[in-house]
Amino acid sequence: MILPMLGLLAILLWVARQAVGPLIGQETRGWLVLWCRRLVRRASRSLPEDQGGSFQEDWLAELAELEERPLSALVYAIGLARAARRISAEMGLARPPHGYPSLARLFDLSAAAAYLLLLAPAILAVAIAVKVDAPGPILARRRRLGLHGRPFEILTFRTHRGIEGDGLPPTRLPRPTRVGFLLTRLSLDQIPSLFNVLRGELALIGPPPQVPDLRGESLAVRPGVICWSTLREWGGADIDESEARRRDCARGACNDLRLMISLFLFTLRGGGPR
Amino acid sequence: MPQRLTRQTLRLLGVLVADPCHEWYGLELMERAGLSSGTIYPLLHRLEHDGWLASTREDVDPSRAGRPRRRLYRLTALGQTAASDALAGRPRAGGPSPDLSAGVIA
């Protein structure tokens, strides 16, 4: 019963494609080209006035060469958004005018909120465990430097006895609590940093936040909970230190997506924090 | 002038050095070096800014040709020596030495 129906459907589709296909093909091609030109204009608009016009002419000219191959033209035009972002970054413009940072922020915010909701019972349990196990506050606050060197307090579950505010290497090593030891092993102590993400001090993915006394130059990207350097330490990324550092400081959705995919695959393979 | 020599930069330099007197369209360089538009234009911009490349608009009349004028890129003398140095792995005076462990031209 199904088979002949599928066959009929296939025949109908084929007929439709033969009849309407060339017509649509032509139309679509035209629209695609117009769309590409629009993308080019949008990309060059994000560059400074005098330069933007020159880039626009250059890129439209190149696009004209690609109009015979609409798919290549599309890939070309889409890539130009990235080109414009990087060029304006090189020109030293303070922030890129379009979307990605706010999109990333939206993503971080929603993901952090979702995680917190999901983990709420676990968070409660851990909080009780920490409180019961050793006297002292549930959360440890440490001073860190975030975006553009702005200081903030990163929140983690308290895992040691007698640690004070600021996270500088203490002279006398505080002893870990029993619960604290478990939390560190399972990496659960980092969970409260999701609150920092909600507050905008941290992102989900980014370079590690800087310790105040040891800082180098201030961060141009929001520091994150997960970064390539961490993944590399866990053995999930086959790159060396300088490459990890470079990727950490690179902004861009592709970079972050790559990290998420690597992290996901790594977790599937049974990897985890060491 | 320190130049960040990524694997992609080296690929592009390889293409340029192979035919130093030729004037290239951006598209040609894209295809020969195997780089995307998002990569090549920032690169070309940086190389031009540092004096390794010179660019000109092609000498056509837009209304006659039916399209805007395209930009042509050419290696400068400085660019030629700098690029050959970079590809050979020699550290430039006053600049960082390139990390060639990433591999050179395709």
What ipTM does this complex have? Answer: 0.76
Return the number of CB contacts < 8 Å for A and B: 59
Q: pLDDT tens digits for A206-262?
A: 888 887 776 666 677 778 888 877 777 777 777 777 777 777 777 666 777 788 888
Q: Is B31 part of the contact surface with chain A (CB cutoff 8 Å)? A: no
Helix B26-33 with B37-49: angle, nearest 10 deg: 120
**What's the whole-number average pLDDT of chain A?**
78
B105: DSSP letter: -
The CA-atom distances, in angstroms, between A11 and each of A2, A15, A16, A18, B64 are 14, 6, 9, 11, 48
Confidence of residue A171 (pLDDT cuts 50, 70, 90): low
State the average pLDDT over residues A11-35. 76
What residues form DSSP beta bridges with A156?
Answer: A140
Nearest CA to CA, how far is B28 from chain A (Å)?
Answer: 10
Query: CB distance B69–A87 less than 8 Å?
Result: no
Q: Is A60 part of the contact surface with chain B (CB cutoff 8 Å)? A: yes
pLDDT in tens, chain B (106 residues): 456 778 888 888 888 888 888 888 889 999 899 898 899 999 998 898 889 999 888 877 777 777 778 889 999 999 889 888 888 875 554 444 444 444 444 4
State the average pLDDT over residues A106-114. 86
Q: Which of A28-32, A43-47, A117-121, A132-136 has the highest mean pLDDT?
A: A117-121
| pLDDT score, position B94 | 45
Residue A132 CB partners (closer than 8 Å, separation 6+): none
Question: What radius of gyration do chain B's Cα atoms show?
Answer: 14
